[in-house]
Structure 1
């Protein structure tokens, strides 16, 4: 299993997971139950989407087509004429 997406929150992770599953790529969300944990846990960065090793390339290719948030937390560029994926 390899991490293909570091999510901002569980909702973000599940949207990515469902997009992957719609493309017949098995995906799993890890760390969603750690949200709200206090003390030793970091504030963010523990919710991730993972796929089996054999599916990493396909998953990464699909993720590049999704309007995900970049590292600065800004919305990625979206082609308004594109009838494909819509932002959640």
Structure 2
């Protein structure tokens, strides 16, 4: 097996693997279990999409089309371009609830 694509994170690796699978190319995503050791921070350099040796060239062609046409939205922005602050509000709410709970004890 050859590495056809080195992804930024495991999510991107699965997106590319799905694209290749839809094109009839069998894939294997490496680095899946290494992500948990790093938490939400991607394990840099371990999220790879592997294909069989004979499928490497067709896979690279599909990936090149994906990269040329792909207009991915950054993870920190929603489609409208506004910051995605759900996680911040959730954490702030949990911190306030924890402080209230500690003061009631």
TM-score (norm 1): 0.69
Is there any run of 5+ residues in structure 2 with no aligned partner, and where?
74-105
1:27 is matched with 27
1:47 is matched with 47
Per-residue Cα deviation, 1:31-65 (whole angstroms, up to 9, x for no partner): 11101425xxxx51111000000100100111100
Rg (Cα) greater in structure: 2
Secondary structure, aligned partner of 1:33: coil
CA contact (8 A) 1:4 1:51 kept: yes
1:65 is matched with 65
TM-score (norm 2): 0.59
Higher helix share: 2
RMSD over equivalenced CA pairs, Å: 2.2
Question: Which consecutive segments of 4 or more residues in structure 1 shift more than 4 A?
Answer: none
Is there any run of 5+ residues in structure 1 with no aligned partner, and where?
68-76, 79-84
State the aligned residue count. 70
